[in-house]
A and B are shown apart, each in its own frame.
Chain A
Amino acid sequence: MNIVHYFLQHHQEILELTLEHLWLVGISTLLAVAIGIPLGIFSAHRPGWNRPILGSANIIQTIPSLALFGFLLPVPWIGARADRLAILALTLYALLPVIRNTYTGIRGVDRSVLEAGRGMGLTDRQLLFQVELPLATSVILSGVRVAVVVSVGLATIAAAIGAGGLGEFIFRGLAMVNNDLILAGAIPAAVLALSADFALGGLERWLRPR
C-alpha cells in the first residue's frame, strides 16, 4: 500500500523522469539504427569487412557500462553534457544487435533470388531497396527490438553520471535504503521495456515476409 501511495504522491516526477528516460532511449536507438543498418549492409556486401565491423561492435559490448561512461567523460563536446554522454554510450551498446541482425538478414536472402534479380538487370540500389531490405526487415527489426529492451535497462545507469531518467529514483533509493524509491524507478522501466518489446514484436510479425 505504501508504494501505491508513493506513486500517487510522486506521479508528476515519475512521469517527467519516464519521459526523460524515453528520450535517452529513443534518440540513442534512432542513432544506432541510422549508423548500424548501413554498417550491417556494408559488411554483408563486403565479406572482408564483416569481421572488423562486427568485432568492434562486439568489443564495445563487453565494456562495463559504468566504465564506458567514464571513458567518454574526457571526450570534448560529448563530455560537456551528461545527456550527450549517455546517448553516445547507449548508441554504442545498441549498435551490435542492429549491425549483426542487418548482416544476418541480408546474408539470409536466397541466393537464387539475387541471381535472378541481378541477371534481369536490377541495379545494386534496386536490389537493395526492392529485394534485400524488404526480405531482411523482420530480422533487422528483431535486432532493433533487442537493442531497445537492453537500452531501457542500461539507461537507468545514466543517472549515475547525472543524465537523468528513471535511474534517478533507483540511485536515490539505493543511497537512502528506500525500496519505494527504487521501485518507483524500476517498475516504470520494466513497463517501458515490456511495452517496447511487445510493440516492436507486433510490428515484426506484421512485416514478416510470407
Chain B
Amino acid sequence: MESSSENRPAIQLHNVSYTLPNGQALLQNLNLAAQRGETLVLLGRSGSGKTTTLRLINRLLIPNAGEVLVNGSNVVQGDVIRLRRSIGYVIQDVGLFPHFNIEKNIGIVPQIEGWDAGRIHARVEELLHLVGLESSIASRYPHQLSGGQRQRVGVARALAADPEILLMDEPFGAVDAITRDQLQREFLSLQQRLNKTVIFVTHDLREALRLGTRIALMENGRLVTVLSPGDFLRSMDPLASAYVKAFGESLTSVANRGGA
C-alpha cells in the first residue's frame, strides 16, 4: 500500500479540457503527470494554456472534461480548501497582502490552520532564513521591500505549511536579470534540500532548461511534447527546435554585436 502511493505520480491530468463560457477552448485533451520530487516545467507562449493548467491543479478552475488527480484523488471531489492549503502557490505578481507585515504574510496559512503564535513565529524565522532573508524584515510591509525580496517572501509564504506540492506561475518573471539569476540558483539549492513536487510555469527556455527535471512544451492549449532538458536541446520536434533556434540566435546576435 505504502509503496504504491509512493510510486504514484503526485499530479495527474487525464484528457483534461477547459473551455471558457464563451466557447473558447483554453486547453484540449491534456494528458500530463508530475512525479514526486520533480520539477516539471510548463513552457510555452502566452495563451498556450500553462497558467490554466496550473489553476486546474489547485481547483481555481474546474475542467469541462477529464480529471485532475492530486495524490491519486480527483480534486473536484474533495474539500477544495484542504486541497489548496496542501499546495503552495506562487504567482508572478506575488500578491502579498499589503496591509499585513511580512511575518503575518508568511504565517497566513499556519494562522488560519490554527497554529499557536509561538510555532508560527518560529516557522516564519526558519522560512526567512531558508529563502535568504534577514529576520529583521519580518516587521516590514510589502511596499517597503524590493521586487526580489517580495518574490522570496512569496516563496516563503507558499512553503509555510510545508506542502508537498508547489505551483509556481512565472515566479521570477517580474524581476531584473541579475536578481532572476540569483533566485533561480537559490531555487535549485532549495529544491535539492526540500524535494517538493514543483510545477513551474515559464515562457523562458533558459529558465526551463536550468530548473526543470522535465519540460512540457505547450502551444495553443495542447501539450506538444515532454522532454528532459538534454533531450529538448536535441529534439527534432519543429516547435522545440524553433525555441532552441530562437534562443541560440539571440545569444549569437548578442555575441556578434559585442564583436563588431
Q: Which residues of A contact B (CB under 8 A)?
A: 110, 112-123, 126, 130-131, 134-135, 209-210
Contact = CB atoms under 8 A, between A and B. Distances in A.
A210 B95 CA distance: 15
Contacts of B94: 112, 116
Given A112-B94, A134-B99, A119 B60 contact: yes
A116 B98 contact: no
B99 A135 contact: yes
Contacts of A118: 60, 84
A136 B107 CA distance: 22
6 nearest A-B residue pairs (beta carbon): A116-B95, A121-B84, A112-B93, A121-B85, A119-B89, A112-B95
Nearest to A126: B112
A122 B97 CA distance: 12
Query: Is the contact region of chain A dominated by helix, strand, or loop, or is it mixed?
Result: helix
B141 interface: yes
Interface in B61-120: 80-85, 89, 91-99, 108-109, 112
A114 B58 CA distance: 14
A109 to B, nearest CB: 9
Nearest to B80: A121
B98 A115 contact: no
Contact of A119 (B58, B97, B98): B58
Contacts of B92: 112
A119 B99 contact: no
Interface string B149-179: 0000010011000000001000000000000
Contacts of B245: none
A119 B84 contact: yes
B143 interface: yes
Interface residues of B, number: 28
Given A119-B91, A120-B108, A131 B97 contact: yes
12 contacts: A116-B89, A116-B95, A119-B91, A120-B84, A120-B85, A120-B158, A121-B81, A121-B85, A123-B81, A130-B97, A134-B99, A209-B98
A121 B95 contact: no
Contacts of B158: 120
Contact of A110 (B84, B98, B154, B167): B98
A110 B95 contact: yes
Given A112-B95, A115-B95, A119-B167, 11 more contacts: A112-B91, A112-B92, A114-B95, A118-B60, A119-B55, A119-B58, A119-B60, A120-B85, A120-B158, A121-B81, A134-B99
A112 to B, nearest CB: 4
B109 A121 contact: yes
A130 B58 CA distance: 21
A112 B170 CA distance: 13
Contacts of A116: 89, 91, 94-96, 154
A121 B157 CA distance: 12
Contacts of A114: 95
A131 to B, nearest CB: 6
Interface string B47-64: 000000001001010000
A126 B167 CA distance: 22
B97 A113 contact: yes
Given A119-B58, A121-B83, A210 B143 contact: yes
Contacts of A126: 112
Identify which of A118, A120, A130, A209 gathers the most chain B CB atoms within 10 Å of its CB.
Answer: A120
B160 to A, nearest CB: 9
Nearest to A113: B95
Nearest to B58: A119
